[in-house]
Amino acid sequence: MESQDWVYSDIVKDHFLNPRNFLMGDESNFKYDAVGLVGNPICGDQMKMYIKVDKKTDTIKDIRWKTYGCASAIASTSALSEIAKGKTLDDALKITAKDIDDYLGTLPKHKFHCSILGHDALKDAIEKYRTVEEKR
């Protein structure tokens, strides 16, 4: 009998099968201001998060991502991209793994780390963006 811990919500399944803001094809086709990259050597997942920032309002105007990971990693990153778009950089940094998990209707407990990877990739992109902007 299958454990309830392995059951995905309909929202997780939808974001896995129909990922939002996924960057298809060549990265050079998306004009981004910064890219964040994180990986988890334990599970082998890797994520790249690309952000386009409205410099006047300091908000995420557009966001795209690529991931090499499981269904939970894909769904989590898709959800995060929806949550973060339109937020200020400061507000985007406040998005937690629990916020992503809640948005998705909860991930299986053993897959919660997938939502942390997306958050870390977004944080890395924002930090890189701010580093470049400080030098200008």
**114 is an active site residue:** yes
Distance CA 33, CA 26 (A): 16
Catalytic hit among 23, 95, 114, 122: 114
Catalytic hit among 20, 30, 37, 43: 43
Per-residue DSSP letter, 22? B
Contacts 24+ apart (CB under 8 A), 11-15: 11/75, 11/79, 11/103, 11/104, 11/105, 12/71, 12/72, 12/75, 12/104, 12/105, 12/107, 13/71, 13/75, 15/74, 15/75, 15/76, 15/78, 15/79, 15/104
Residues with a catalytic annotation lie at: 43, 114
